[in-house]
Each structure stands twice: as C-alpha cells, then as structure tokens.
Structure 1
Amino acid sequence: MSFLSSMNISASAMTAQRLRLDIASQNIANIDTTRTATGGPYRRRMVVLEAQAESNFRKTLMNAAGKSRQQSSGGVKVSQVVEDTSPLKSVYDPEHPDADENGYVQMPNVDLIKETVDSMSATRSYEANITAFNAIKMMASKALEIGK
C-alpha cells in the first residue's frame, strides 16, 4: 500500500463523515417541520456507509484469474441516504394548521439526542482521519529527508 492510497482512504472517510454530519444537521434543522414538498411531516434521514474496494486493475485481473484472493480495503463510500421508517410523533396541538380533526399533529421522528450523538460521532471520526492523514504526510516527509 502506497502513501497516496493511504491518503485516499483517509480522504474517503473524511468525505463520508462530512456527509453524515450534514445529514444530522439537516435532521436537526427540520425537527419541527410538519409539511414537506412530498406531503406530510419530515422524516429522519440516515447515511448508509459501505467499504469501497480499491480500484486497481492488476488486483482485479488477478482476482478474476483466480491467482489472488486478497481483497484490500480502499476506504469507505456512502452507498445511500435512507429515510427512517420509525413511527412519527403525535402531539396534541389543536391550534396548529396541520392538526387533524382530533387536534393531533404528526411531528417528525427526529430525536435531538440521537442527532447530537451522531454529530459527535461523525466529528470524532473526521478528526481521527485527519490525524491519520497528517501522520501519513509526516512519514512521507521523513522518507524524503532520508534521501538528503
């Protein structure tokens, strides 16, 4: 594994964690949204991450020929952003414009505590990948100094 592929792995993780943080922020921003463009209240969104295989033609060819069974990880990618299917919250507020005939309003299924924890987790993961990225840069710099 070269220095550049190590940097690409950390960069892919930072991109994925940034999207996780963006989605958590979007969920928090819409915590009280009772009407969306598609109709009905906002539904919490979640990011699904999956391993990204390293795109190396030689490795792919060797695997296809049956000469190598090694699979190396090439980072992470966002496979999709899905809506949470958990039930919506019913809140009694007969004066709300979206209240039904019984006075209940369907509120988003966003939990502020869950979103805060997701935000903190994404931030910590992002910071860990920055640390790894900087360590790789430092190793590359020291390797170049050896040749002097």
Structure 2
Amino acid sequence: MEMSRALDISAAGMDAQSMRLRVIAENLANQDTTGSAPGADPYRRKTITFAETMDRGTGQPEVQVKQIGQDMSDFTTRYEPSHPAADAQGYVKLPNVNNFVELMDMREAERSYSANLNVMQVTRSMLTRTIDLLR
C-alpha cells in the first residue's frame, strides 16, 4: 500500500532530523568547554551529513544519517592567563561553536521535522477515511 510507504519515508526523515537536533544540542552544551591542560584543544563542533538510501523492504528511497563528523575550522583564542588551559602566552583556545549557526540549524531541523510530521498526519487521516468508507 502506497500510504504506508509514505509513513515509512516520513518516519525516516523524522529520525534523521532527530539525530541532527541531538548533534546541535551537544554542540550548544559544549560551547564553553575548553581543554583541560595548557594549550590543549577545546571541544570541536560536530557536523552531520545525510545520504539517500534505498529501503530494502519497500524499495523506496529514504534519508539516513551518513556521517557525524567534526568541523575542522580554526579555534578562536582569548587572552586569559589565569585559566588552567592557557598556553605559555596566556591564550586559551575556545570551541569553534557559533550560537547563531547552531540556532539556525536547529530551526531548519525543526521545520523539516514538522513537515514530515504533517505528512504522517495527513496520511493517517487519509487511511482513516479510507477505512471508514470500506465499512
């Protein structure tokens, strides 16, 4: 039945966006995590990439998490000689997490999740109406 496939595809999209939200939450939670030793690297922002896969059971394309990687952009530094992670010059490396970027990614993930949820609700409604007609 085609409608059940629509539910499966939407569920896969919701799973992918849920994982995206978990990665964003981890980035935001660690935005102030510095290294524990002088000159040590702080928390490095995580990234997520998606890939289209084929569901073997239904033969339908679905989205899945391809990889959770790391953002290799440079760390910023702040002069704070009293910090335990300060290097010999007194600079502390700070995580490469940007609140603005994370919040925009979160909003985009929320919209995609909501769109998939709406597809599920409409599909469920159509299935319910079909069953009512068959009675």
What stretches of structure 2 of length at least 5 have no aligned partner?
Answer: none
Deviation at 1:40, TM superposition (A): 2.2
Matching residue's letter, 1:117: M
How far apart are the structure 1 equivalents of 2:2 and 2:54? 15
* 1:43 pairs with 2:44: yes
Matching residue's letter, 2:9: I
Deviation at 1:3, TM superposition (A): 1.6
Which residue in the other structure is 1:79 paired with?
A: 66
Deviation at 1:117, TM superposition (A): 0.5
* 1:120 pairs with 2:107: yes
Matching residue's letter, 1:77: Q
Q: Deviating runs (4+, > 3 A) in structure 1?
A: none
Which residue in the other structure is 2:27 paired with?
A: 27
What stretches of structure 1 of length at least 5 have no aligned partner?
Answer: 60-71
Which residue in the other structure is 1:103 paired with?
A: 90
Give the alignment's Cα RMSD to 1 decimal.
1.6
1:66-112 Cα shifts (integer Å, max 9, x gaps): xxxxxx42x21001100001011111111111001111111100000
Matching residue's letter, 1:11: A
Deviation at 1:143, TM superposition (A): 1.1
How far apart are the structure 2 equivalents of 1:100 and 1:85? 21
1:9-62 Cα shifts (integer Å, max 9, x gaps): 1001101101111110110110010127xx6210000111111213148x6xxx
SS in 2 for 1:11: helix
Taking structure 1 as the reference length, the TM-score comes to 0.83
Identity %: 34
Matching residue's letter, 1:32: D
Contact 2:35 2:93 (C-alpha < 8 Å) held by counterparts: no
SS in 1 for 2:53: strand
